[in-house]
């Protein structure tokens, strides 16, 4: 991607990687950062006036997104997914392989990349399947998938239940230099559960999923990552026991272990299932909303540096699929367009983390964990930029989301902190006309 010369003038530029936080102008040429400095001359460049109080940040990167294409285009397409991404401030997304057919073959990876190139909005990085059909039986051709463009491997939606398969995958991942990402969940402990195992599930008569169903697999995977040295990343962590396992691994120097947390797991608890709308299927996700101790552990992990990444687990579902009994509804909610205001409202404005830490969780760290370009606005970096309006009032309207699906529990929430503009490769691909 490339564009004409663009000068972002004014605003507060925050780049944790470059160690820069202050009033700077930023000049973009040919899709890359040309200069960062004070009072830079326009010299014929298009000028983007950054309002006082706005933040110029490295483009946000979401490493856990379901784009649903191929095979489930009634929920989302690659084109609608990247529209939602840029509206949410994300300049790049990594898409999960649980499409139909599963992305376990270079041909499917190439199709996703062609459709993403045609949409020409956010960058799209496909994630390949660990096993053929994500069945957990025979390993997919990881090398061929990486050559086609995959940046990581997972059977997300399905845990890699076989310890031997996980060991081999980590060994290959180490040689290929890409992470293995696991949806951690012991199938025998999860059973047919639909909500967090606890008092709320008992009161509502819902089958429970204990937190250890997640953490027992995190413990196993950390042990295998220690054995093999392969890069390992925990998907959408939700249980305090899982955080404890990751923290212990990091405390003993394991730099090959990382983890992510989704906004709904640091904002909500299972008590939301009881009020204001009981059995709201837009609160059904996997892993489930957990108890207060788990939610607070995620907040602590975000604040103390144990958590590496905030990822949305954007999982669109058609309205008709959610308009059923709680037991029968699919798991998942959309998240690309609600992430930034939730991060500002619950993490930054409360003083739980600094603005620089928030940007690292959403930009620099995802780039580091998945070894992607971006995450900084240093000279010659790709000009992927998110302009944030931290004090802007935001009311989430599900019907107005750019995503093809509207399954969010945050409809009607009034928050503070939004996206003013999204720039990819030096081109303005989204501008919030309401600001």
Q: Rounded CA gap, 120 and 65, in Å? A: 17
Contact 146/130 with Cβ under 8 angstroms? no
Residue 146 in tokens: 């990486």
Q: Would residue 313 show up in a list of annotated catalytic residues for this protein?
A: yes
Query: Distance between alpha carbon 317 and the CA centroid of its chain, in Å?
Result: 17
Q: Nearest-CA neighbor of 51 among 6, 8, 89, 10?
A: 10
In Å, what is the CA distance from 411 to each residue of 80, 185, 342, 343, 418? 19, 29, 12, 16, 15
First-to-last alpha carbon distance for the chain, in angstroms, is 26
Q: Rounded CA gap, 428 and 421, in Å? A: 7
Q: Nearest-CA neighbor of 250 among 163, 308, 336, 192?
A: 308
Tell me 327's DSSP state: G
Out of 313, 380, 391, 411, the active site residue is 313
Tell me 148's DSSP state: H
H helix or E strand, kind and range, residue 195: strand 195-196
Q: Rounded CA gap, 385 and 105, in Å? A: 32
H helix or E strand, kind and range, residue 146: helix 142-148
Which residues have a catalytic role annotated? 313
């Amino acid at each position: 991607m490339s564009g004409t010369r663009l000068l972002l003038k004014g605003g507060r530029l925050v780049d944790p990687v470059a160690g820069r936080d202050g009033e700077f102008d930023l000049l973009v040429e040919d899709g890359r950062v040309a200069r960062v400095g004070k009072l830079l001359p326009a010299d014929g460049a298009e000028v983007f006036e950054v309002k006082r109080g706005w933040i110029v940040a490295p483009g946000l990167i979401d490493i856990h997104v379901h784009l649903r294409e191929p095979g489930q285009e009634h929920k989302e397409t690659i084109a609608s997914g990247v529209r939602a991404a840029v509206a949410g401030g994300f300049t790049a997304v990594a898409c999960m392989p649980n499409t139909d057919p599963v992305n376990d073959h270079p041909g499917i990876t190439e199709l996703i990349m062609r459709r993403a190139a045609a949409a020409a909005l956010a960058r799209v990085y496909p994630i390949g399947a660990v096993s053929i059909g994500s069945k957990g039986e025979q390993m997919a051709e990881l090398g061929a998938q990486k050559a086609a463009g995959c940046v990581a491997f997972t059977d997300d939606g399905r845990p890699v239940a076989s310890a031997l398969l996980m060991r081999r995958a980590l060994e290959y991942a180490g040689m290929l230099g890409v992470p293995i990402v696991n949806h951690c969940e012991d199938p025998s402990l999860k059973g047919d559960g639909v909500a967090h195992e606890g008092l709320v599930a008992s009161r509502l008569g819902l089958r429970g999923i204990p937190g250890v169903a997640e953490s027992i697999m995190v413990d196993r995977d950390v042990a295998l990552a220690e054995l093999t040295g392969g890069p390992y990343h925990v998907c959408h962590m939700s249980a305090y026991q899982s955080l404890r396992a990751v923290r212990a691994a990091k405390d003993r120097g394991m730099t090959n272990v990382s983890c992510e947390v989704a906004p709904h797991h640091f904002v909500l608890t299972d008590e939301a299932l009881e009020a204001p709308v009981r059995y709201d299927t837009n609160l059904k996700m996997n892993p489930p909303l957990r108890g207060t101790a788990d939610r607070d552990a995620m907040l602590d992990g975000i604040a103390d540096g144990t958590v590496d990444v905030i990822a949305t687990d954007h999982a669109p579902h058609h309205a008709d699929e959610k308009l059923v009994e709680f037991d029968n509804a699919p798991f998942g909610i959309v998240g690309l367009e609600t992430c930034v205001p939730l991060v500002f409202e619950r993490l930054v404005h409360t003083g739980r983390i600094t603005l620089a830490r928030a940007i690292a969780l959403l930009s620099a760290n995802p780039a580091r964990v998945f070894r992607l370009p971006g995450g900084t606005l240093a000279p010659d970096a790709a000009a992927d930029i998110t302009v944030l309006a931290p004090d802007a009032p935001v009311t989430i309207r599900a019907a107005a989301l750019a995503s093809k699906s509207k399954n969010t529990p945050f409809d009607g929430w009034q928050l503070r902190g939004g996206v003013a503009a999204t720039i990819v490769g030096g081109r303005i691909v989204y501008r919030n006309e309401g600001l």
